Amino acid sequence: MKLWVTPQGDKWLCDECQQELEKQIEEEGWRIAFEKWEPMLRCSVCKHCDMEVFD
């Protein structure tokens, strides 16, 4: 999961949503603050996490 700095505020994005928003990211000049692998983090768009959590 990557934390993106956007004009509308910071957003966590998974790799799939990052690809879908690629054009917007480029047009608005978003930048990556950092990347973190944490099962509790959720994507701002799809609300899923990057890691599968087993109960």
Q: What is the reported pLDDT for 38? A: 85
Q: What is the reported pLDDT for 54? A: 64
Q: What is the reported pLDDT for 39? A: 82
Q: What is the reported pLDDT for 9? A: 95
Query: Which residue range forms the structural domain that includes residue 41?
Result: 1-55
- Number of domain units in the chain: 1
Burial 5-39 (b: 16+ CB within 10 A, else e): ebeeeebbbbeebbeebeeebeeeebeeeeeeeee
pTM over 0.85: no
Residues in the chain with pLDDT values less than 70:
52-55
Residues 6+ apart with CB under 8 A from 49: 1, 14, 39, 40, 41, 42, 43
Structure tokens at 30: 């978003």
Taking the CA atoms of residue 25, residue 26, residue 28 and residue 34 in that order, the dihedral angle to the nearest 10 degrees is 50
